Amino acid sequence: MQFWSGTAFMMATEAVAVARMLDDAGFDGIVCSDHMIYPRELSSPYPSPTGRPMWSPETPWPDSWVLIGAMAAVTTRLRFTNAVYVAPARPLLEVIKQVATASVISEGRVSLAVGAGWMREEFELMGQDFGNRGKRLDEMIRRCARFGAAAACPGAAGTTGCPS
């Protein structure tokens, strides 16, 4: 059995201390949530029975890769992943670079959990096409595995930027 915790709805300023505590307590990992934005006026239906998320527009969503880098810097064994990183809302090389950098900082203690996303507004604000996100995600997974950390982060030979 593995023990993991999450950062969802946690204050970003508390996450580093919590990660250190989890590392010291023997937890296996920590999961970071991901959204670039959450608009006040949401027209996209959330995939739940009510069609509405349980959080408010004021809920903070710190960048998961910045948070992972900060937590990795103060831990030695804790692993990190996302639930779920909305990769197709971002440019491919940006995704590879962020994951690869986090992998280097953490000495390979990261995994990438990706999903196609549900919020059209997030894609539009990022300048990405919501309609082809599934196809783009499939291509991102293939290319991320091909490029890995060595291509995205010089000096990272031997690590994988997008672990399985």
CATH number at 34 reads: 3.20.20.30
The answer as to whether 157 is a domain residue is: no
Element (H, E) at 82: strand 79-82
| pLDDT above 70 coverage of the chain, percent | 89
The answer as to whether 162 is a domain residue is: no
pLDDT of residue 100: 85
The answer as to whether 147 is a domain residue is: yes
- Model pLDDT for residues 29-66, shown as the tens digit of each residue: 999 988 877 777 888 888 889 988 888 777 888 889 99
Element (H, E) at 114: none
pLDDT of residue 157: 38
Residue 162 has pLDDT above 50, yes or no: no
The answer as to whether 159 is a domain residue is: no
Prediction pTM value = 0.82
Residue 164: which residues within 8 A CB-CB, separation 6 or more?
Answer: 111, 145
The answer as to whether 160 is a domain residue is: no
* Domain extent at residue 47: 4-152
The answer as to whether 112 is a domain residue is: yes
The answer as to whether 81 is a domain residue is: yes
Q: Under the phi-then-psi rule, with left for phi > 0, alpha for psi from -120 to 50, and beta for the rest, what region is 133? A: alpha
32 touches 7 (CB < 8 A): yes
The answer as to whether 161 is a domain residue is: no
Q: How many domains does the chain have?
A: 1
